């Protein structure tokens, strides 16, 4: 069984919020999507992708699995691409997405792009997912040092996103959280801005899941909040 709470904030710079999150405890389904595109396109991409994820999982009969999440992500990709092709105002829109699907104590994780899943257990925070970004998949493999990568002109470039190409590469993971273990799903407006030690402190502090999510968002805003900030926090009980 999981407790869950989610929160989203536009941050300190942007007027609109292109992030979207999902809490569907009856399905054991949780997600964060970070949209991109001009005008309102990013908002529509993240909402459409997340709603499609819910529809596929809701309509499934085979239970939770990595295959089900991959199917749902692929359907989301098709829906976002179709919407963009039918409306010039939405051309070029896309979204990252990270999702968790719980079943019988297992937690399946799937991700596309750079929205992340973390596990927090016994005071330790570690990333579950791998970023599909130029920095992670190209820069690090070229041996470029971390200091240079932090300021590299390609540091914000995604190598994969929903709605951009028919060739979608979905990464999947399986975790088995023990009672008290927390799993964090978040957009890069949080993990790319707040320090990891600040995230760890927020998760380790006493209080409810709501207060922890609020502390995470405030940590990013204290660094200027240049992007939308979204956190979904799960705790095994």
pLDDT along the chain (237 residues), means of 10: 96 95 97 86 95 97 89 98 91 95 95 98 96 81 73 78 95 96 98 96 97 98 97 97
- The Cα–Cα gap between 204 and 123 comes to 6
- The Cα–Cα gap between 54 and 24 comes to 8
- The Cα–Cα gap between 199 and 106 comes to 24
State residue 139's pLDDT score: 75
CA distances from 183 to 6, 22, 117, 122 (A): 12, 15, 7, 12
Q: Which residue has the tokens 């570690």?
A: 126
Residue 169 has φ and ψ, to the nearest 5°, of: -110, 110
Each residue's pLDDT tens digit, 51-78: 999 999 999 977 889 999 999 999 999 9
Q: C-alpha 208: how far from its chain's center?
A: 21
Question: Do 25 and 12 meet the contact criterion of CB atoms below 8 Å apart?
Answer: no
> What is the DSSP annotation of the chain?
-EEEEEEEE-TTT-SS--EEEEEETTTTEEEEEEEE-TTTHHHHHHHHHHHHHHHHHHH-SS-S-HHHHHHHHHHHHHHHHHHHHT-GGGTT-EEEEEEEEEETTEEEEEEESS-EEEEEETTEEEE-S---BHIIIIITTTT--HHHHHT-TTTT-BS--BTT-S----EEEEE-PPTT-EEEEE-HHHHTTS-HHHHHHHHHSSS-HHHHHHHHHHHHHHTT--S-EEEEEEEE-
Each residue's pLDDT tens digit, 135-152: 777 877 777 877 676 766
- The Cα–Cα gap between 11 and 87 comes to 28
CATH class of 2-236: alpha beta
């Amino acid at each position: 069984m999981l407790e869950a709470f989610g929160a989203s904030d536009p941050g300190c710079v942007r007027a609109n919020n292109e992030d979207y999150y999902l809490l569907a405890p009856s399905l054991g389904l949780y997600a964060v999507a970070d949209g991109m595109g001009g005008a309102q396109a990013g908002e529509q991409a993240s909402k459409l992708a997340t709603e499609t994820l819910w529809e596929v999982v809701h309509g499934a009969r085979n239970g939770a699995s990595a295959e089900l999440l991959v199917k749902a992500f692929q359907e989301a990709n098709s829906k976002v691409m179709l919407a963009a092709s039918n409306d010039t105002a939405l051309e070029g829109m896309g979204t990252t997405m990270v999702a968790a699907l719980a079943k019988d104590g297992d937690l399946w994780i799937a991700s596309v792009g750079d929205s992340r899943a973390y596990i927090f257990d016994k005071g330790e925070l570690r990333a579950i997912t791998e970023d599909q970004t130029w920095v992670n998949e190209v820069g690090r493999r070229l041996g470029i040092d971390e200091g240079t990568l932090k300021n590299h002109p390609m540091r914000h470039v995604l190598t994969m996103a929903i709605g951009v190409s028919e060739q979608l590469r979905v990464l999947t993971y399986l975790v088995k959280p023990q009672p008290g273990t927390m799993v964090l799903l978040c957009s890069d407006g949080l993990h790319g801005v707040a320090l990891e030690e600040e995230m760890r402190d927020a998760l380790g502090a006493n209080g409810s899941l709501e207060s922890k999510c609020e502390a995470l968002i405030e940590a990013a805003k204290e660094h200027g909040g240049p992007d939308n900030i979204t956190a979904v926090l799960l705790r095994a009980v």
